[in-house]
Amino acid sequence: MNKELKERLKKANVSYFKMPGYVPIERPFTLGNMIFSNKRTLDEYGGDAEILEEEIPHVAQYRELGILNFLGKYLGEMIEHKGQKDMYTTLGTLESFHQMDKDEKKKLLSKVLGPERVLGPAAITKTERSLTKGIGPYEDHMKNVDYWLTDEYDVLNTRGDFK
């Protein structure tokens, strides 16, 4: 991770932990101001910047709702949708910003990182390329989702460095 990105995270009071590869997590996750990944998820997503772009909005959600309210709402949504998978394609859920609501994602990123710069891809990342080809971890619920990534948020290039 580059120095400027580390400084932005520190300024935003966000901690990023890379756990050993043997820690059995399927994908990155967030708990409060802490984002966790491991080598497997890092390889799958393409890099730190791509993981952070997907997880920093959850930091904003935790800050808005508080940890207990966030976890309660998340559990309620999982029960309502019979698991996590459909939350990604249902507007208004805590996971919908990933694929369905680009404006919400931009708003949540801005709340944590500030309005002057928003993490975002200048090109489709490795994970999103695999999803559009139907070979990624969200294959089942990605079939009919139009990607918002044609919009550029103008900070990160595909190497994860600031422009």
145: exposed, middle or buried (C-beta count within 10 Å: 0-12, 13-18, 19+)? middle
Range of weakest confidence among 23-27, 86-90, 121-125: 121-125
Q: Which one-letter DSSP state was computed for residue 93?
A: S
What phi, psi does 24 have (nearest 5°)? Answer: -80, 80
pLDDT in tens, 5-34: 888 899 999 999 988 878 888 889 999 999
Rg (CA), the chain: 15
What is the domain partition of the chain in residue ranges? 3-150
User: What is the percentage of the chain residues whose pLDDT exceeds 70?
Assistant: 70
pLDDT in tens, 66-87: 999 999 999 999 999 998 889 9
From residue 147, alpha-carbon distances to 47, 98, 99, 100, 142 in Å are: 19, 10, 7, 8, 9
pLDDT of residue 116: 54
**pLDDT band, residue 49 (cuts 50/70/90):** confident
Find all residues with CB under 8 Å of 127, minimum gap 6, and list them. 44, 45, 46, 50, 136
Find all residues with CB under 8 Å of 100, minimum gap 6, and list them. 88, 89, 90, 91, 145
pTM: predicted TM-score of the whole model, two decimal places: 0.70
